[in-house]
């Protein structure tokens, strides 16, 4: 066979000569390398993924204080399409502070953004577009609190615990992500509350998965979370308790002697005592919630608002709870279905907030049924309104309090 024929293959049906494909071309070599690299990354994630068997009691029915209503359907949307992912809200009179998906803290007065501070000095975080593209470099402020008269403090899921002076437009990373705390790295600072001006307590949602991989922790449902005490001046830390199932929202009791932590993937809230006869003890505060809890905030009535971004409807099939006793099925599912598809499937088109008294009794619930409000991650109030923040929202919702 001559050289020309070596480079060609005869098509039996048409009799025409077709050029053979050059599988050693630079393009194909590069494509093969990319596929191999992706495969290695995916296999590494699978090797880390170790799901636990667990079970939850049947979800409570939507009756009594949980009866369906349409209170949140009457919300107005502040800053619609002008803000992205206001996960946590701090309400002070006519002013709202919140953190955003693109790594900023914003100050909002009478419904308008008046100040913005970017929580990064990296040149790749200057514009909003750059910050969204380079999110791992630019931070993701989650839980937000007032530390003192001048400063706010936030649990940044990418950077750690960060102090912010929004008026001076300055910030300081008090405790960086990755720092070892009793042998384990700070991995996902999620929420926090202030014990005093020198001390905060915060949740490290999971010591295994970073913020962008948090869905793996939900599907694993392993006790990887912990609650940590931090002295802001000395930077000293102490793990108060661990083995939490995705440690999320944090809220001090009014007397500052104990605090609450949401265990999201177990649909419950745990209480821990800092002082008193039960010092250093933990107990279940409220469990078998009608949804998976996120941020907890004390309201103007002395009760607690608990936001439930993912509801547990007893009338509907819940794949996550169905698969709870079968970790091997979840492991196979992770290898067959992209994590992005699983994540989207877990977002319910329903909004729900419950009000719980200081004994853990559910008093009221506030529902959004029309799909406009969903995946709400915090509820806060003032004298007249309830405000809703959401990890994926493009607005802050506000609704008048029921009479």
**Are residues 11 and 146 both part of a single domain?**
no
The fraction of the chain above a pLDDT of 90, given in percent, is 73
Q: d(Cα 14, Cα 132) in Å, to the nearest integer?
A: 53
Q: Rounded mean pLDDT of 66-78? A: 98
The band of 20, judged by pLDDT with boundaries at 50, 70 and 90, is very low
Whether 357 maps to a domain, the answer reads yes
Q: d(Cα 62, Cα 85) in Å, to the nearest integer?
A: 28
**Are residues 27 and 79 both part of a single domain?**
no
**Are residues 256 and 302 both part of a single domain?**
yes
The band of 17, judged by pLDDT with boundaries at 50, 70 and 90, is very low
Give SS3 for 184. strand
The single residue listed with the structure tokens 């006869």 is: 277
Do residues 345 and 391 touch, judged by C-beta distance below 8 A? Answer: no
**Who's near 54: CB < 8 A, 6+ residues apart?**
221, 266, 324, 325
**Are residues 275 and 339 both part of a single domain?**
yes
The band of 91, judged by pLDDT with boundaries at 50, 70 and 90, is very high
Q: d(Cα 236, Cα 230) in Å, to the nearest integer?
A: 6
pLDDT at 81: 96
The band of 4, judged by pLDDT with boundaries at 50, 70 and 90, is very low
Give φ, ψ of 77 to 5 degrees: -105, 115
* Domain count of the fold of the chain: 2
Using DSSP bridges, classify how beta strands 17-19 and 184-185 pair: parallel, antiparallel or unpaired. unpaired
**Are residues 41 and 147 both part of a single domain?**
no
On average, the pLDDT of the chain sits at: 90
pLDDT at 174: 98
HSE-CB of 49 using CA atoms within 13 angstroms: 23
Using DSSP bridges, classify how beta strands 170-176 and 225-231 pair: parallel, antiparallel or unpaired. unpaired
**Are residues 116 and 174 both part of a single domain?**
yes
**Are residues 247 and 379 both part of a single domain?**
yes
**Are residues 7 and 63 both part of a single domain?**
no
pLDDT at 252: 99
**Are residues 147 and 172 both part of a single domain?**
yes
* pLDDT tens, position by position, 309-338: 999 999 988 888 998 999 999 888 888 888
Query: Is residue 346 pLDDT above 80, yes or no?
Result: no
Give φ, ψ of 178 to 5 degrees: 95, -15
Query: Is residue 44 pLDDT above 60, yes or no?
Result: no
pLDDT at 318: 87
Whether 227 maps to a domain, the answer reads yes
Closest-CA residue to 226 (of 207, 252, 212): 207
Query: Is residue 12 pLDDT above 60, yes or no?
Result: no
Q: Rounded mean pLDDT of 343-348? A: 74
pLDDT at 34: 54
**Which contiguous run of DSSP H or E holds residue 145?**
strand 141-146
* pLDDT tens, position by position, 364-402: 999 999 999 999 999 999 999 999 999 999 999 999 999
pLDDT at 341: 82
**Are residues 290 and 354 both part of a single domain?**
yes
Tell me the residue range of the domain where 25 lies.
1-48
**Are residues 70 and 42 both part of a single domain?**
no
More confident residue, 48 or 1: 48
The band of 136, judged by pLDDT with boundaries at 50, 70 and 90, is confident
* pLDDT tens, position by position, 199-258: 999 999 999 999 988 888 988 999 999 999 999 999 999 999 999 999 999 999 999 999
What CATH number is associated with residue 314?
2.120.10.30
More confident residue, 9 or 191: 191
Whether 53 maps to a domain, the answer reads no
**Are residues 25 and 98 both part of a single domain?**
no
Whether 13 maps to a domain, the answer reads yes
Please count the other Cβ atoms lying within 10 Å of the Cβ belonging to residue 185. Answer: 13
Query: Is residue 80 pLDDT above 80, yes or no?
Result: yes
Query: Is residue 25 pLDDT above 80, yes or no?
Result: no
């Amino acid at each position: 066979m001559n050289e020309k024929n070596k480079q060609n293959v005869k098509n039996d049906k048409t009799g025409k000569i077709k050029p053979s494909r050059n599988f050693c071309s630079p393009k194909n070599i590069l494509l093969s390398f990319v596929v191999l690299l992706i495969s290695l990354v995916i296999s590494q994630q699978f090797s880390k993924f170790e799901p636990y068997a667990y079970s939850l009691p049947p979800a409570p029915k939507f009756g009594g204080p949980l009866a369906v209503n349409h209170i949140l359907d009457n919300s107005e949307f502040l800053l619609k399409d002008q803000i992205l992912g206001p996960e946590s809200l701090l309400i002070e009179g006519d002013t709202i502070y919140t953190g955003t998906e693109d790594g900023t803290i914003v100050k909002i007065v009478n419904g308008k953004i008046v100040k913005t501070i970017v929580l990064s000095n990296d040149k790749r975080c200057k514009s909003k577009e750059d910050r969204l593209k380079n999110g791992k470099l630019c931070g993701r402020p989650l839980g937000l609190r007032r530390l003192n008269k001048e400063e706010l403090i936030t649990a940044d899921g990418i950077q750690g615990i960060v102090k912010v002076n929004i008026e001076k437009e300055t910030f300081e990373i008090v405790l960086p992500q990755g720092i070892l705390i009793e042998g384990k790295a700070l991995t996902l600072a999620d929420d926090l509350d202030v014990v005093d001006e020198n001390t905060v307590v915060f949740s490290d949602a999971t010591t295994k998965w970073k913020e962008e991989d948090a869905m793996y922790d939900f599907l694993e449902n392993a006790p990887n979370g912990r609650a940590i005490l931090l002295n802001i001046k000395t930077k000293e830390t102490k793990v108060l308790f661990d083995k939490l199932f995705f440690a999320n929202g944090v809220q001090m009791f009014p007397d500052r002697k104990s605090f609450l932590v949401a265990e999201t993937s177990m649909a419950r809230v745990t209480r821990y005592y800092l002082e008193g006869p039960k010092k250093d003890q933990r107990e279940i505060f409220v469990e078998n919630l009608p949804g998976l809890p996120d941020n907890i905030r004390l309201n103007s009535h002395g009760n607690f608002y608990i936001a439930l971004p993912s509801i547990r409807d007893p009338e509907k099939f819940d794949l996550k709870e169905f698969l709870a006793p079968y970790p091997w099925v979840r492991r196979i599912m992770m290898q067959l279905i992209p994590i992005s598809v699983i994540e989207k499937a877990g977002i319910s088109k329903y909004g729900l907030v419950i009000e719980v008294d200081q004994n853990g009794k559910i008093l009221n619930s506030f529902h959004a049924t029309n799909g406009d409000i969903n995946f709400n991650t915090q509820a806060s109030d003032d004298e007249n309104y309830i405000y809703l923040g959401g990890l994926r929202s493009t607005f802050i919702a506000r609704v008048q309090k029921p009479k």
